[in-house]
Structure 1
Amino acid sequence: MSKELERIKIVPNRIEEQLEKIISENKRLRFQYASATKQVNELNEFMQIMLNMSPFGISIIQNDRFIFNNKAFSEIVGFSQKKLRNMAPEDIVFEADREHVTKSIEGAYTDHVQTFFMFRIMTKDEKIKWILGSVALIHMNEKQALLGNFVDLTEGRVMHLAYNDALTGLPNRKLMMDRMEQAIVAAKRRNEKLALLFMDLDGFKNVNDQYGHEIGDKLLIEIAGKLREVVRRENDTISRFGGDEFLILLTDIIHRDHIESIIFHLFDKFTKPISIAGTNVTNRVCFSVGVALYPEHGEDSDTLIRHADEAMYRIKKTRGKNSFLFFEPS
């Protein structure tokens, strides 16, 4: 009987010891959990700060939606981080580049490798920007996602060399095409008109033949400077389109009178002969100008350029030398 009593006394003691061990282990685990939670929170805070301090645009895309965007990405596209979380990536990709971007993204999913690609976006204020992007496949909440890194190339030196005429510094043919596409998209949305002026120098070949190409180049530089003095609105664009050909894109046009006043201002600007710096050469500059209107004479860039060119050719063959003509169908 006494042995049985001793066994009964031992059992509660063992239970009490095990409870103490369980309580002690529970405290240890709770401390470890609190410590790990603190470390995770500190790491998350560090990652948030690091991502938002990055000069590169960073985003995470899942289920065809932005689920994270850093400050730099928001600034590149012009939309707030909150607004972006309700948008799909294709909402900001320039329409003509969407298929190219889709194929690049699909490559990251299928090949599980980081992909690099260049594309254009349409910002909130309807400006087109060139972007260098790279995406890589990651997993979040046990689901596939894409981590994207994006660099705005629009203001860079490389983009300036690629999209500006090396001689005059004016936008080149490619940049003008981009600006026209951008302007057409905006004009269509706002139900506005555009005007494209196709300008050809009269007798420029004679300058090259008589004085040489170096003098011809200096003359083109002087002409570009004077064109900038006339066409000064931010949304208008002057382009050196070819050797002695210039394009001027005028936005927000209400009346033809506005276009004609700008053309007459251009002619007046070149009334006096231009003196070539460092030489004794002076030359009178004259233009033949063809004009095409959006949407009256075309609803895409190629059509507008072709029609403005046709109008310029007609006026050059008939009157020429500081004359202009609006396109008229044959």
Structure 2
Amino acid sequence: MANHTLLIARDGAERPIADSAAPIRHPDGRITGAVLVFRDQTEERRTLDRLQLAASVFENALNGVTITDREQRIIEVNPAFTRITGYSREEAIGQTPRLLSSGRQDADFYAALWSEIENTGQWHGEILNRHKNGEIFPEELSIVAVKDEEGMVTRYIGVFRDITQIKAQEAQLQHMAHYDPLTGLPNRALLADRMAVALAQAGRSGEKLAVCYLDLDGFKPVNDTWGHATGDRLLEEIAGRLREAVRGGDTVARLGGDEFVLLLANLAGVEECEISLARLLQTVARPIVIDGAALTVTASIGVTLFPGDGADADTLLRHADQAMYAAKEAGRNRYHLFDPRHDHAARERRKSLERLETALERNEFCLYYQPKVDMHAGTVIGAEALIRWRHPERGLVPPVEFLPLMEGSELEIRLGEWVIDQALSQMDAWRAAGLDLPVAVNIAPPHLARIDFA
């Protein structure tokens, strides 16, 4: 008869023991004594505890666990295996892991996998497997070969987890890094990659690549009048139209604001490019109805052709940008092909516009008021506001030297608004002093034609 109990050792530690007793009998059958046997079960209990802990981990692990024999036949799986793959324990036992094969990895992949296990005893990586319902899912998998004392493989243990959510998050971050969040078009970073590929292909094929810089005409008034939400919806619509207007191998990217870049590849010549550009202008100019309001914008497109313009990617974009400004100066709603002969003049004009914009910000412009006199009555009946530029180095600059540089630009509109505001302020000041005089101001025709002019 065996009993299990705890003994207190001399050092005070509790020790589990198994004890058994056997009687010592006299020849006549009387019990004259007993033999007691004690066995220390400390190591056995520790081993049992470890086994129970391992079993608990196996049963409750979030990762799937598969155990196979040396022939790769499944001999045990845990509950997480069933949750992840859809296969029950009964369906998996006796099968091989090929039960989950998606067919997405080729023979070379598996040859490399087993070669690493043979050489190192383990493998870790990502693999695509198939759920019982047929869905393909990505998993992170570790395989370990279990060997006996003689170094022979007795088991394989595979531990895996479904990383579908991780892959979705990675794809989302990748998309955010390379695509414009408003329009879904490639952004500047992805455009750089696309340009590198397109330039290499054009260099090999000898066909032309058109780098087009597109800026919307009249977008700012839409934004100012109808609000940014309407402006965003208009940009989304324009982006969709541009995407539909180009071919599958072409690229439409948004740089920001109302600026887009298009890469038109595999062009046989300039004529084919011009046909595409005319189609783009017509596409953009069609009215867009948003919340019952019919909105119309147009496009100015600057174009440079590679390899005729044999510059690098950044310079090609700069040339297309300069050509776009030339299209705006020529009246907008048109395209302009980059001409290297006019490159210097275009850059000089841009520099002049930037300096004039700085002058407006620094309040370097001023108005002089020329009186209007009734010669019969000899009285002042009004005044005309005349603009001058108080240049910090050149002194007072007449309008003939700077107004022509602004023609057709947004700065021309901004300066016109400034002139109106200044003239109205001066009229208020005169009125407060008891002088009521009308003031005439000069308005540029494009400013006068704007729908928000008041």
TM-score, length-normalised on structure 1? 0.53
Partner of 1:291: 303
- Would you say 1:265 and 2:304 are equivalent positions? no
Partner residue, 1:110: none
Per-residue Cα deviation, 1:289-321 (whole angstroms, up to 9, x for no partner):
0001112213421111111001111221x2232
- Is the 1:198–1:289 Cα contact (8 Å) retained in structure 2? yes
Partner of 1:170 in structure 2? 185
CA deviations over 1:216-237 (Å, ceiling 9, x no partner): 0011011111112211x22101
Aligned to 1:183: 198
Q: Alpha-carbon deviations, 1:184-220, whole Å to 9, x = none? A: 1222222222111100001211111111111100110
Sequence identity (%): 43
Is this contact kept in 2: 1:198–1:309, CA < 8 A?
yes
In 1, the alpha carbon distance for the partners of 2:179 and 2:190 equals 7
Contact 2:202 2:307 in 1 (8 A): no
Q: Aligned match of 1:327 in 338, 358, 363? A: 338
Residue number in structure 2 paired with 1:70:
109
Task: Give the alignment of 1:46-195 within 5 angstroms.
Answer: 70=109, 156-195=171-210
Shift of 1:282: 1.8
The answer on whether the counterparts of 2:284 and 2:299 sit within 8 Å (CA) in structure 1 is: no
The aligned amino acid for 1:236 is: D
Partners of 1:327 and 1:41 lie apart in 2 by 70
Within the alignment, does 1:252 sit opposite 2:266 as a pair? yes
CA distance in 2, matches of 1:217, 1:188: 37
1:70–1:190 Cα change, 3 Å: farther
Contact 1:201 1:245 in 2 (8 A): yes
Q: Does 1:309 align with 2:348?
A: no
Q: Are residue 282 (structure 1) and residue 285 (structure 2) matched? A: no
Q: Deviations over 1:84-104 (max 9, x none)?
A: xxxxxxxxxxxxxxxxxxxxx
Aligned residues of 2:285 and 2:299 also touching (Cα < 8 A): no
SS at structure 1 position matched to 2:199:
helix
Amino acid at match of 1:177: A
Deviation at 1:152, TM superposition (A): 9.9
Among 245, 248, 259, the alignment partner of 1:230 is: 245
Asked if structure 1 preserves the Cα contact closer than 8 Å seen for 2:208 and 2:305, the reply is yes
Aligned to 2:233: 218
Q: In structure 2, the residue corresponding to 1:269 is in which secondary structure?
A: helix
Please give the alpha-carbon distance, in whole angstroms, between the structure 2 residues aligned to 1:187 and 1:214. 39
Q: Distance in 2 between matches of 1:309 and 1:69?
A: 49
Higher helix fraction: Structure 1 or Structure 2? 1
1:184–1:272: structure 2 CA closer, same or farther, 3 Å change rule? closer
Number of residue-to-residue matches in the alignment: 206
Q: 1:240 aligns with which of 250, 254, 270?
A: 254
Contact 2:208/2:269, CA 8 A, preserved across alignment: no
CA distance in 2, matches of 1:312, 1:70: 51
2: CA distance, partners of 1:54 / 1:229: 35
Structure of higher CA gyration radius: 2
Between 1 and 2, higher relative CO (CA 8 Å, sep ≥ 6) is seen in 1
Q: CA contact under 8 A between 2:301 and 2:334: conserved in structure 1?
A: yes
Runs of 4+ deviating beyond 3 Å: 39-43, 47-50, 52-55
Work out the CA distance in 2 between the residues paired with 1:322 and 1:258: 19
Question: In the superposition, relative to structure 1, how do residues 183 and 152 fare at CA in structure 2: closer, same or farther (>3 Å)?
Answer: farther
Q: Whole-Å Cα distance in 1 between the matches of residues 202 and 311 of structure 2?
A: 10
**Residue number in structure 2 paired with 1:209:** 224
Query: Residue in 1 aligned with 2:382?
Result: none
**Preserved contact between residue 211 and residue 305 of structure 2 (Cα < 8 Å):** yes
Is the 2:216–2:297 contact (alpha carbons within 8 Å) kept by the matching residues of 1? yes
Residues 1:187 and 1:157: Cα distance change in structure 2 (over 3 Å): same
- Per-residue deviation, 1:265: 0.9
Shift of 1:70: 2.1
- The residue type equivalent to 1:195 in the other structure is A
Give, in angstroms, the shift of residue 324 of structure 1: 0.9
Distance 1:265 1:305 in 2: 21
TM-aligned CA distance change 1:180 to 1:70, over 3 Å: same
Question: Is the Cα contact below 8 Å between 2:179 and 2:186 reproduced in 1?
Answer: yes
Provide the alpha-carbon RMSD of the alignment.
3.9
User: 2:256 is paired with a residue of what secondary structure?
Assistant: coil
